[in-house]
A and B are shown apart, each in its own frame.
Chain A
Amino acid sequence: MKDKKIKNVFRQGAISSEFIGESIYKHQTKTSIGAHNIFLGQVRADIIDDKTVSAIEYTAYEDMANAKFHDIREAAFEKFELTCMHIYHSLGTVKAGEICLFVFVSSPRRKVVFEALEFIVEAIKADVPVFGKEIFEDESHQWKVNT
């Protein structure tokens, strides 16, 4: 189930729970699947020097990022027995408490999806040129760095 075309992973703004629910629903016709696993990245209201993060504004080197997401997808299909996988990442402003990353993997069996999901999320954090500006409640900002 590899697909060679480079997809656009990015969505403007937060990823809604309706969108996530709809994605799950769409897989009900794929009855070879026995296990799904989902990662949802949520914007945290970190407190830094007494100031609270109210949102993150995401930007990306979109062409390179989509190519990297594609490489990660190919590597995951190579490594794990997956029926399908989907990745969505936000661009623009995502408020604290909202979802900015949605990774969805499916397989006939459960063990595979646990391993595959971790592999994919860690690769996204390390390899994809996405940048996050943490906006504080007083409208000042700092730049987020993945650790």
Chain B
Amino acid sequence: MHITIKYFGQIAEITQKGEESLEFSGALISELMEQLYEKYVPLKDKDFKVAQNQELVPLETQVSGNEIALLPPFAGG
């Protein structure tokens, strides 16, 4: 499956990009994260949440093919 992942804040600093498309053959968000940890090792030490289709989701969620985003701690206001 072809999926688009968006990165923000300090996560985007690590990935050096705001967005990318990649090929994913697993099922769960947690498997996708494993794939990303291999690609971006420093990500493992970072605090972030995952959103799918603009809602925060737990790691056990099925990847639906909608937009995925890695969100570091919020700092609005």
Contact with A along B1-15 (1 / 0, CB 8 A): 000001011100000
B74 lies within 8 A of A129 (CB):
yes
A126 lies within 8 A of B74 (CB):
yes
- Chain B residues within 8 Å of A101, by CB: 76-77
Given A61-B51, A63-B54, A67-B54, are A128 and B76 neighbors across the interface (CB < 8 Å)?
yes
- Chain A residues within 8 Å of B71, by CB: 61, 129
Is the interface on chain B under 10, 10 to 19, 20 to 34, or 35 or more residues? 10 to 19
**Complex formed: what's the CA distance from A67 to B38 in Å?**
32
B73 to chain A, nearest CB (A): 4
Cβ of A53 within 8 Å of any chain B Cβ, yes or no, is no
Q: Which of B6, B8, B72, B76 has the most CB of A within 10 A?
A: B76
**Complex formed: what's the CA distance from A92 to B10 in Å?**
15
Which of the 9-residue segments A18-26, A110-118, A139-147 touches chain B? A139-147
A146 lies within 8 A of B69 (CB):
no
A125 lies within 8 A of B77 (CB):
yes
- Chain B residues within 8 Å of A65, by CB: 76
Q: Which listed residue, A61, A121, A127, A145, touches B75 by the CB 8 Å rule? A: A145
Q: Which listed residue, B9, B51, B54, touches A131 by the CB 8 Å rule? A: B9
Taking A65-B76, A146-B77 as known contacts, 4 extra A-B pairs with beta carbons closer than 8 A to each other, sorted by chain A number, are A61-B8, A129-B76, A132-B76, A143-B73
Mark A residues whose CB is within 8 Å of B: 41, 56, 58-61, 63-65, 67, 89, 100-101, 121, 124-133, 143-146
Mark B residues whose CB is within 8 Å of A: 6, 8-10, 51, 54, 69, 71-77
